[in-house]
Amino acid sequence: NFANQFFQMIFSEILIFWYKKNKRELPWRNTKKPYFIWLSEIMLQQTRVTQGMSYYLKFTENYPTVSDLANASETEVLKMWQGLGYYSRARNIHFTAKYIAHELNGKFPSTFKEIITLKGIGDYTASAIASICFDEPTAVVDGNVYRVLARYFGIQTPINSSAGIKEFKELAQSLLDKTQPGTFNQAIMDFGALVCKPQNPLCDECPLSESCVALQKNLTKDLPVKEQKIKVKKRYFNYLVVVSNDDKTILTQRNDRGIWQGLYQFPLIETDKNINEKILISSTEFIDLFPDETSISLFNPKEIIHKLSHQHLHTHFWIVETASHKNAEIPWKTIQNFPVPVLIANFLVQFQLKK
């Protein structure tokens, strides 16, 4: 047991020593305010630091306090989030900001137990906030931590299995430097991001390389292990981009619980395969939308495939020109004000160039 404790101490000391010399200078590293740490942690889920940084700076500039964020409209928050993806994160931070501002008098909870009850906050984010802001000894386990631990200790348990989640959390907790938990947590995450990278890890520069199981057994590429992912679903989207004579169009808000909830889009006809113009205009959905005469043309002959984590959207944009339409109420010049999925934002750039 003594040997075990000694090893754990050495492991955390080596990582913290490495971190103090090599850590990334990031804007949220200069604060212990939970609001800023929370924002940065939510933004960096599923997102690289380089991409998340500009969003973090934009958010903290526009909403310097949790109350400022709470007072913004959901549409405004989604518009500011546009391009970061996984939009439920934006809806959740807005919901939680309102809860903290109105129910907790603007005071962020200070214990792991309380923080984890907030909407959109799981074990990882709660551990990060509790350890960094309040020195609570709770270990973080994110993709970087899974990778470092799986490789260093040669663990074959899949990281996305319930057994794996439990095993890695317990291991991370046992290695945590209880005297400086926030520093240790940031050290192991930065180490995974900068040295023990997914592809081409820098084993030659690694201060833990001499005792790394994956390096000794040539398993670096095989670890961590992930169970087979869900099958990717193919979907076929036909967006109908209305252009009326008075330069107006139709945008509707997606309110169903699926992807892009709360974002805006052009009228959509989803089909079970790619279709041609003849099939499109003879469909009941099209006829219901456009009972009057229209002129239709395909904007992108080559389908655009937009890849999400569990689905690939095979997309065509159809330009529908019409004299007028009762639902065409949005002037084209105001279209930039609406939060839209990146798929539509990219189309708008191309379309405005050709217009």
Question: Which of 41, 74, 210, 293 does the annotation list as catalytic?
Answer: 41
Nearest Cα residue to 250 out of 261, 234, 236, 264: 264
Burial class of 248 by CB neighbour count within 10 A (0 to 12, 13 to 18, 19+): buried
| Residues 157, 164 contacting (CB under 8 angstroms) | yes
Nearest Cα residue to 6 out of 208, 174, 149, 155: 174
- Return all residues near 123 (Cβ < 8 A) that are at least 6 apart: 116, 141, 169
User: Is 41 tagged catalytic?
Assistant: yes
Neighbours of 213 (CB within 10 A): 15
- Verify cis geometry, omega within 30 degrees of 0, for the bond prior to 224: yes
**Residue 336 backbone phi and psi in degrees, to 5:** -65, -15
Structure tokens at 334: 């105001």
> CA-to-CA distance for 36 and 69, rounded, in angstroms?
12
Which positions are annotated as active-site residues? 41
